Structure 1
Amino acid sequence: MPRRPRWRLTGPALLCVLLAGLFASAADAPGSSARPVVARCELEGVVDTGSSSYLSDCVARAEAAGHDALLVRLDTPGGSLEATRAIVRTFLASRVPVLVWVGPSGAHAGSAGVFVTLASNVAAMAPGTNIGAAHPVVGLGGQDPEATGGEHLARKVENDAVAFAESIAQQRGRNAQWAASAVRDSVSVSADRARALRVVEYVAPTEADFLAQADGRAVTVAGGESVRLSTRDAHVVALEPSLPQRLVHALANPGVVYLLFLVAALGLVVEVSHPGGIVPGLIGVVALVLALVASSALPVRAGAVALMLVGAGLIIAELFVTSGLLGVAGVVLLGLGGLFLVDRFDPEWFVDRSFHISWTWLVPTTAVLAGAAAYVAYRGAQTRRLPQRGGDLGLVGEHGTTLAPVTAQSGEVFVHGERWRATSTTPIRSGAHVVVRGMEGLTLFVDEVPT
């Protein structure tokens, strides 16, 4: 029998190899049915408008991409009540299961972080973390509401926060009684205790362990739809915040605000002491604008800002007075402004006691500013003691050389890089070294310097 050409067999064989490769790559590709995809974002630091916008964006992106879940790593001392409500609304309306992990060890979900954790579909905490202390210690001027507005105002503020926490816990099937006590009594519990009280579902040392424990759990998302989690060995996709969100969140830091005020003060002091530098003044103005913008995003006391501005003004005044007292008073006012800058009792914020400018940040920066101000004042005083180098008096004591013989009626000298008419009570030969003793109009009075 005639043999079939080999090329007729090669084509089908190559087609089989290509199809096998396509099936294999599809099976290994992230997002295929063989491997779930979990989006991941972080809430670290203050809950502010920047972090609220970021988390809302994460939920929208996870929904649009069809991810199996959204994992949020949480470590916060609390923050803005309005931003917290926005995050809670987004989590409760999410069609993608939201998983919150409080970690790593040493992290905490304080104050506003309690509401964010309760709003998740599934929550876990790393060993060595804690959650709680969500009592709204609010008031006008930093005082307790019962002292400023009476018992009725205090009860109204507290009951509103309690109802907020209880409604979230009930909707997510968590311990509503503990949620109420976290608000009323500032209760804070560890990871193991939180799991025993049904505040969170798991204790997980890592995110991967949390995803493995949550795998197969049935949760209810927006619209009442029941979803069974598929998170074991998931492909984790990190969702990064946008540049504006990063900037707003970075500025919402008490230490950053205080540092910006110090930079603004130093920049303006340098510009005033050395006019025409432009760069120091420009840096100071930009830092001042950023500090004021950041102040609008934080619970900042207006009185503390005023103290810092007055302190900067006193340091600038020290340049002209050089008494030392104005500079010391300015540094003290800047330090006091930093100490009282953050109002932890603002009724629009839920923050714990750690939300303030720490002494380890306040003391060194104030000391550096005090040293800089003292140096500028010292150099200013030193400059005032120097003899005048410009104008008529600036020529007295200068040395020069005679260009022509000098007599009581006429003569010519070269002084300070310039040719001058000169006279002398004693005749001086040409080429002699002279010193200026006085000046009248454009004529110098000189004496010969003995050689």
Structure 2
Amino acid sequence: MKTRIGFSPLLPLLWAAALVLGAIGAAADGAPDSLARKALVLEVRGVIGPAMASYVADSIAEAQTRDAELVILRMDTPGGLDPSMRSIIQSIAASSVPVVGYVAPTGARAASAGTYILYACQIAAMAPGTNLGAATPVRLGGLPTPKPASEPENEEGARDGTQDAGSASSPEPSDAKERKLINDAAAYIRALASLHGRNADWAERAVREGASLSAEEALEAHVIDLMAPSLETLLRAIDGRAVRLGETRVVLDTSDLEPIERRPDWKTRLLAVIGHPNVAYILMLVGIYGLIYEFSNPGAVLPGTLGTLSLLLALYAFQVLPINYAGVGLIILGLALMAMELITPSFGALGLGGIAAFILGSLILIDSDAPALGISLPLVLGLALFSALVIFLALGLALRAHRRPVTTGAEELAGAQGEVVGGFPGSGSVRLHGEIWSASSDRPIVPGTRIRVVRRDGLRLTVEPIHTSPTKASKPS
């Protein structure tokens, strides 16, 4: 009896119901609940990268869609990537909702890219015990040499920003490319300062000389608009202030605003983790090691799959980080030399060269002097030490195998011991490893005598007696 299998007529209805429910759920999730009389608080913490730029842009767009009264960027950042910083500034400039930059809590900082973002905000505020500055593009080779301490007469002018930014005390960039990029950065931050009437001279010094200020000094130098120890104090302090939004001026009404925090979602946090230099570095190594293992042991599948996935994630991170591709090349060369050491042992020559190339490539992998974008030196040394231990362990096993006597093949027969069956002098036969072999010897040897193989010629052995008394009762080998 044949059984006919077909689709139930209810199946299309179930699919349609699932689609309708999914659409209703998506519409409900995306429904813009009003944020009227609310301030959207965003956390800008850690390195400024593509994930952070996307988070800020999406949040500002949400604030505009849901009619928020204010957006507050609560900042604590060592800086980050120039494209991501400019993307955040463009989102702030295009926003129809006022944006407040707030460096908090106590101990936080708005260094490097954070200084630019703070200057771009309609209101710039800092909590006590915070600082900003050091806005030189550090990927150009680090901060310029600071002014010698022997010029105290200019200290006060440097602090309040009244010193001429183009004076002779400003260190000159070392080459044409560096001059062009620093001049561009200086012009950019001066333009941001002029938007909201802040101290443009000190802003330029922060770029050209890496100057920094505490919150109190920044307020005195008109770099920021106010100091506030808490979010509630900040909202009360900016109430009634007029800010510029595009071509219009808006008076803030913040006395009774309710702050609502919008934290990064899981996707933003995941991309931020993947984009961290240390994580990207580990992913690259896992990817390369996984592919090496897969190619040397075809069919393992899991190492190859894991290696490919890790390498693709590392490539994503590298395309948003300032990568020195000479460093990538040295790392790959180092790993290749170490793999060759394992495959064709050179008693340390390839392995040591690979370790040296691996460490050097790791140290120059990130093309930036910013500490937040560097790869941890203990991590580099730890991975190099691990690779060295693997190589030396493999070398030890190879040397032990090299010194071990041969146990198979034709070479193993030389020196092997057996027992005479008959014949000799001349041709005869011997029992060796449980087999009867044809043998020859120019000496008379009686049956039962123990013999030693001198050499092998094809299927015939040349043997010599071992000088012990023959034992007929001896067990055959």
Q: How does 1:347-358 map to 2 (within 5 A)?
A: 352-358=370-376
Contact 2:218–2:224 under 8 Å retained in 1: yes
Residues 1:373 and 2:397 aligned together: no
2:214 to 175, 184, 190: 190
Residues 1:157 and 2:181 aligned together: yes
2:348 maps to: 324
Quickly say closer, same or farther: Cα 1:50–1:423, change in 2 above 3 A. Answer: same
Shift of 1:98: 1.1
Residues 1:259 and 2:282 aligned together: yes
Q: How does 1:20-59 map to 2 (within 5 A)?
A: 36-59=37-60
TM normalised by structure 1 equals: 0.72
Contact 1:142–1:343 under 8 Å retained in 2: no
1:336 to 360, 364, 368: 360
1:174 maps to a residue whose letter is: R
1:362 maps to a residue whose letter is: V
Quickly say closer, same or farther: Cα 1:394–1:131, change in 2 above 3 A. Answer: farther
Residues 1:364 and 2:382 aligned together: yes
Number of residue pairs matched? 397
Quickly say closer, same or farther: Cα 1:393–1:125, change in 2 above 3 A. Answer: farther
User: Alignment partner of 1:258: what SS?
Assistant: helix
User: Alignment partner of 2:260: what SS?
Assistant: strand
2:326 maps to: 303
1:291 maps to: 314
Residues 1:66 and 2:70 aligned together: no
Quickly say closer, same or farther: Cα 1:138–1:273, change in 2 above 3 A. Answer: closer
Range with bigger deviation, 369-378 or 133-142: 133-142
- Structure 1 unpaired stretches of 5+: 1-29, 345-350, 399-405, 429-436
1:51 maps to a residue whose letter is: M
1:175 maps to: 199
1:308 maps to a residue whose letter is: I
Q: How does 1:38-437 map to 2 (within 5 A)?
A: 38-136=39-137, 146-149=173-176, 153-230=177-254, 232=256, 234-241=258-265, 243=267, 245-268=268-291, 270-271=293-294, 276-319=299-342, 320-344=344-368, 352-385=370-403
Shift of 1:354: 4.7
Contact 1:41–1:72 under 8 Å retained in 2: yes
Quickly say closer, same or farther: Cα 1:391–1:37, change in 2 above 3 A. Answer: farther
Quickly say closer, same or farther: Cα 1:169–1:267, change in 2 above 3 A. Answer: same
Quickly say closer, same or farther: Cα 1:296–1:57, change in 2 above 3 A. Answer: same
Shift of 1:51: 1.9
Quickly say closer, same or farther: Cα 1:314–1:82, change in 2 above 3 A. Answer: same
User: 1-side partners of 2:181 and 2:229: how far apart?
Assistant: 36
User: Alignment partner of 1:373: what SS?
Assistant: helix
User: 1-side partners of 2:276 and 2:100: how far apart?
Assistant: 26
Shift of 1:305: 1.0
Quickly say closer, same or farther: Cα 1:141–1:112, change in 2 above 3 A. Answer: closer
2:203 maps to a residue whose letter is: A
Shift of 1:292: 3.0
Contact 2:238–2:252 under 8 Å retained in 1: no
User: 2-side partners of 1:38 and 1:141: how far apart?
Assistant: 38
Question: Percent sequence identity over matched residues?
Answer: 33
User: 2-side partners of 1:72 and 1:370: how far apart?
Assistant: 46
Shift of 1:217: 3.5
User: 2-side partners of 1:141 and 1:216: how far apart?
Assistant: 42
1:200 maps to a residue whose letter is: I
Larger RCO (CA within 8 A; separation ≥ 6)? 1
User: 1-side partners of 2:455 and 2:300: how far apart?
Assistant: 35
Contact 2:115–2:133 under 8 Å retained in 1: yes
Quickly say closer, same or farther: Cα 1:370–1:60, change in 2 above 3 A. Answer: same
Shift of 1:311: 0.5
Shift of 1:383: 4.6
Quickly say closer, same or farther: Cα 1:330–1:145, change in 2 above 3 A. Answer: farther
2:41 maps to a residue whose letter is: R
Quickly say closer, same or farther: Cα 1:385–1:72, change in 2 above 3 A. Answer: farther
- Structure 2 unpaired stretches of 5+: 1-32, 145-170, 440-445, 449-453, 461-473
